[in-house]
Amino acid sequence: MSDNLVTRRRALARLCTLPFIACAPRYVAAATTSFVEREDVRAFMALMQTKHGFDEARLVKALQPLTLDPQVIKLILPPKSPAQRSWKRYRSRFVEPVRIGGGIDYGSARMPLLKRAQEQYGVPPEIVVAILGVETIYGRNVGDFQTLSALATLAFNYPPRADLFRDELEALFLLAREQGADVESYVGSYAGALGPAQFLPSSWRHYGVDFDADGRVDMLNSETDILASVARYLHDSGWTADEPVAVPAQVQGDSYRKLIDAGIEPRFRLDSLQEAGVKPAKADGEDLPCALIDLTTPGQPTEFWLGYRNFYALTRYNRSSFYAMSVFQLANAVREGWDKQAKSNKGNKAAGSTRPG
């Protein structure tokens, strides 16, 4: 993945931690002002004309009806009293019966496609399925915001990340032109993410795969393209086939804290872990680069894990150790469900073969 897109993903993951209350009053004043009357929007339109050859009349037609969407601003702002971080509470939202059962059924029905994507990109079927489960419950909750309006609102009314969202607004116009679609037709999350995989427009353009070979990348309706694109995204983010994702760890003393402070990028090996009083739960673990991950729940003992390169690849989708661990554990639960199905089917076949004719 390019550094620019990694930075963009990281910025989106940090949005909920940014103080921005001081800017709120300007929203009321700007909420009824058409975007095309604004100097910054005019500058954006000029850029789209000179850089990409867009017609001014088409840009005006798309942007003229738009005004600030207060609901988008409300959702992007952090709460005034943010809840205390809790791994147990976070996990319960994603590693739960609806997503587990849904993932077992969803993946079972699409296993040949998932296997084909695995052959191409090295990402196991359960990981791809779990990404979709965490993101949208397998396409059930993709969002109902007009993407053009949401991105324009954030690009021109959210100063902390204006550059990020202007880049995404630019990518949306380019995507629509490449797809032969109306830029006004896209619908997704309040932050501009699209489809069951919640790709931003720039990610769609850079990592979308025409896996069904119909001449276009469809991240909204083609399950073939969607599943393969998720696999490619993780592959390009550093996923390595047949390497571990994460293993539980044990810590002693306080020296381990320097490993936590070093962040989630894998850079330590077994000798460094031992010096810091850290060891994997399994003594025969591979000596691969890893990071020490702490999953904290108020009032309960902290869970410690070693996150390897594949765990880090999951955090490129969303820069959160809670997110990556939820994907990993949901994937494990789905895989266990498939294994049980396979064992049950095998037992039924064996029983059937022993029945008298």
Whether the predicted pLDDT of 20 surpasses 50:
no
Instruction: Say if residue 251 is in the same domain as residue 178.
Output: no
In a domain, 38, yes or no: yes
In a domain, 44, yes or no: yes
Return the pLDDT at 348: 73
Return the pLDDT at 32: 63
- Give the catalytic positions in this structure: 135
Return the pLDDT at 336: 98
* Whole-angstrom distance, CA of residue 324 vs CA of residue 317: 8
Instruction: Say if residue 69 is in the same domain as residue 148.
Output: yes
* Residue 178: domain span: 3-80+144-193
pTM score of the predicted model: 0.88
In a domain, 252, yes or no: yes
In a domain, 352, yes or no: no
Higher pLDDT, 25 or 64: 64
CB 188 within 8 A of CB 194: yes
Return the pLDDT at 153: 97
In a domain, 73, yes or no: yes
In a domain, 173, yes or no: yes
* Whole-angstrom distance, CA of residue 189 vs CA of residue 290: 33
In a domain, 220, yes or no: no
CB 15 within 8 A of CB 161: yes
> Which CATH number belongs to the domain containing residue 72 in this structure?
1.10.8.350
pLDDT tens for residues 254-304?
Answer: 999 999 999 999 999 999 999 999 999 886 667 999 999 999 999 999 999
In a domain, 317, yes or no: no
pLDDT band (50, 70, 90) for residue 5: low
Closest CA to 223 of 203, 202, 194, 195: 195
Residue recorded with tokens 């490129």: 316
Instruction: Say if residue 185 is in the same domain as residue 254.
Output: no
Instruction: Say if residue 287 is in the same domain as residue 153.
Output: no
Higher pLDDT, 352 or 27: 352
Residues 6+ apart with CB under 8 A from 138: 102, 103, 106, 129, 132, 196
Q: Which whole number is the average pLDDT over 151-160? A: 95
Q: Examine the fold and report which residue of 153, 174, 193 is the final residue of a domain before the chain moves on.
A: 193
Strand partners, 304: 294
Instruction: Say if residue 184 is in the same domain as residue 273.
Output: no
Instruction: Say if residue 13 is in the same domain as residue 160.
Output: yes
Domain count, the chain: 2
pLDDT tens for residues 35-79?
Answer: 898 999 999 999 999 999 999 999 999 999 999 999 999 999 988
Q: Examine the fold and report which residue of 291, 307, 323 is the final residue of a domain before the chain moves on.
A: 307
